[in-house]
Structure 1
Amino acid sequence: MKMSRFVASMMMLHTLFIASVNAEELVYTRAFADGDYGNYHVAVLSAVIAATPEYGDVALTPHPHPMSQSRQLVTLLKGDADVMWSVTNSNREQRLLPVKLPLLKGYSGYRVLVINPSEQSSFAQQTGEALKQSTMVQGADWPDLSVLKANGYNVSGEDWSLWFHSMYSMVDKGLVDAFPRNIIEVHLDLERHKDKHISLEQFHLLKYPNYEYFFVSPDNPALANRLRLGLIRILDGGELERIFDSFEGHRKAEMLADAESRKIHELGNPTIPYKLDYARWDKYKDLAIRALEKEMSE
């Protein structure tokens, strides 16, 4: 006797439910509990897991407690979470396993300044050396703080605060001249803090090698290889580019990166000992895939 479509559908749903119940949990850390945070990274992570079914069923779960980047690292080392994403540095690569595909195409190293709008004209006149004398603020545990200091910028660290409220308040109140933000996040930040007297500085762009990766615990090389293989597959098939382009902030970032009106200040990054030739994986797909394959074979 043939099975009815209804019964077949119910059996399929039951099978999927059992699979989801039995799926192993993969916990990712996050800086904020806000629903707008990390959507791109979670979308990429979901696509990577879906592209590697041979590794088994996994249910992606956010860690219940938002935390600073330094705390996320400790949480992975303790085994209380499985994966995080952050800008890399030598210390993080020594303590964790990096998956070396720059999730943001290297745009983490493209920095524009958020300033008090009353200071716009003064920034227009500044040379590279004068810009270094402006007072700036960064997150106290961000690798960018070390980068800016090493390049001679007058920058101080501020403790983590919800959506960087304290940093933007410092700009608003004139306690600092500028808050360098990466071009991916700055537009959303300005919208979120539109109640403050802040604006995007129009004339300068800081640029240095800076890459945002997925990281996993050194005790979990199998997960690192799953992420590498999944990234290879979604990169090769074009899905990664489609996910990236689906976010408006990413498209706006590209416009800032290519703006001819801005003076580009090239900085070194002493926190990482290399420079990738495939950070723009949309342009250098084959190089990026070969690099990930090489990591898997080592």
Structure 2
Amino acid sequence: MAKEENHQSIVFTRAFADNEYGNYHVAVLQAALNATPDLGSTTLVPHPQPMSQSRQLVSLINGEADVMWSATSQVREKQLIPIRLPLLKGFAGFRVFVINPDKQDSFNYSIDSSTLKTRTLVQGSDWPDLTVLSSNGYNVEGEDWSLWFNSMYSLVEKNLVDAFPRNVIEVHRDLSRHSDKHVSLEQYHLLNYPNYEYFFVSPNNQALANRLKIGLIRILENGELNNIFNYFDFHEEAGKLVDSGTRKIHYLDNPNIPYRINYARWDKHPQLAIEALRKELIELRK
């Protein structure tokens, strides 16, 4: 009877009603909750209404939902409780260029960052990437975008821009959806800047934040988190791009995230990630 009295429904928000959207994040959430049965029984429930990230944030602040996932920022970390484990291994901060393959010669391996900054790039007009690229001196244009970013890929195909820097996690899914277009991955370059995707918890639910930290520690320790990550094909493809060793990486600053963490690659440095999560728990107890 006591177990039923302690049972909690945990409501998460999401941006799209797409059946595939968020499957990885939900799997990690569920695994973290399953790894902490000593803290009570739970049921994970999607919020019935898909919504923008700004609306998700309001829903958590108002107590209409409990947890969301998104790229972090200084503002977001003050408004909500961040669970500072980069869910995507820091891959969310890597961008690969999508180009018209006829332009590959203008992206040869020998060019440096200053030359890259002369190329015309495109990003979503309301994406944080636009600010990151422009603040680092890149020649980038904002574009209104539609689902799966049709306009960007059309601009690339028609040579109206030189390249579309795209998240390495998402680019292969995009290309499969745009297989009819004359576009491809550029072969020699990657951009990288701090961009960490975290779980965020309602500011009024510190107990859930602590539970998720404990659960993530446990699934880091037993390897389950890495198994979940590797289950998703596009994650494996992203890892191949980042770890190829044949691409020149151009490092940028991110005005929205003034720090880099040394455990983003928790698959390679699990103990550093575990220690960081434990440190947050210890600080809370002081």
Corresponding residue for 1:38?
A: 22
For structure 1, which segment, 118-127 or 76-85, has the greater mean C-alpha deviation from structure 2 after superposition? 118-127
What are the equivalent positions in structure 2 for 1:59-208 lying under 5 Å apart? 59-124=43-108, 126-159=111-144, 161-208=146-193
Cα distance 1:177–1:79, how it changes in 2: closer, same or farther (>3 A)?
Answer: farther
Instruction: Give me the identity figure in percent.
Output: 64
Once the two structures are TM-superposed, the CA of residue 141 in structure 1 deviates from its matched residue by 4.1
- Which ranges in structure 1 are unaligned for 5 or more consecutive residues? 1-14
The whole-number CA distance in structure 2 between the counterparts of 1:153 and 1:78 is 38
The whole-number CA distance in structure 1 between the counterparts of 2:99 and 2:267 is 31
Deviations 1:84-127 (A, max 9, x none): 11111111112111100011111111110112223222222743
Pick aligned residue for 1:27 from 2, 5, 11:
11
The alignment status of 1:252 with 2:208, answered yes or no, reads: no
The whole-number CA distance in structure 1 between the counterparts of 2:157 and 2:53 is 25
After TM superposition, the score normalised by the length of structure 1 is 0.86
The whole-number CA distance in structure 2 between the counterparts of 1:141 and 1:25 is 33
AA aligned to 1:50 is N
Contact 1:88–1:143 (CA<8 Å) still a contact in 2? Answer: no
Corresponding residue for 1:9?
A: none
Contact 1:89–1:143 (CA<8 Å) still a contact in 2? Answer: no
After TM superposition, the score normalised by the length of structure 2 is 0.89
Cα distance 1:24–1:163, how it changes in 2: closer, same or farther (>3 A)?
Answer: farther
The whole-number CA distance in structure 2 between the counterparts of 1:169 and 1:152 is 24
**Deviation above 4 Å: which 4+ runs of structure 1?**
none
The whole-number CA distance in structure 2 between the counterparts of 1:70 and 1:172 is 32
Larger radius of gyration: 1
Corresponding residue for 1:10?
A: none
Contact 1:113–1:181 (CA<8 Å) still a contact in 2? Answer: yes
Secondary structure, counterpart of 1:66 in structure 2: coil
Cα distance 1:85–1:141, how it changes in 2: closer, same or farther (>3 A)?
Answer: farther
The whole-number CA distance in structure 2 between the counterparts of 1:75 and 1:169 is 35
Pick aligned residue for 2:276 from 284, 291, 295:
291
AA aligned to 2:213 is R
What are the equivalent positions in structure 2 for 1:4-15 lying under 5 Å apart? none
The whole-number CA distance in structure 1 between the counterparts of 2:260 and 2:143 is 28
- Which ranges in structure 2 are unaligned for 5 or more consecutive residues? none
The whole-number CA distance in structure 1 between the counterparts of 2:54 and 2:155 is 23
RMSD across aligned positions (CA): 2.3
Once the two structures are TM-superposed, the CA of residue 147 in structure 1 deviates from its matched residue by 1.8
Cα distance 1:65–1:180, how it changes in 2: closer, same or farther (>3 A)?
Answer: farther
Deviations 1:181-203 (A, max 9, x none): 12122111111221233211112
The whole-number CA distance in structure 2 between the counterparts of 1:166 and 1:67 is 22
The alignment status of 1:242 with 2:194, answered yes or no, reads: no
Contact 1:101–1:292 (CA<8 Å) still a contact in 2? Answer: yes
Secondary structure, counterpart of 2:77 in structure 1: helix
The whole-number CA distance in structure 2 between the counterparts of 1:144 and 1:105 is 18
The whole-number CA distance in structure 2 between the counterparts of 1:206 and 1:200 is 13
For structure 1, which segment, 148-157 or 287-296, has the greater mean C-alpha deviation from structure 2 after superposition? 148-157
AA aligned to 1:111 is R
Deviations 1:10-49 (A, max 9, x none): xxxxx9xx96xx9533222222221222111111111011
Number of matched residues? 281
Cα distance 1:28–1:157, how it changes in 2: closer, same or farther (>3 A)?
Answer: farther
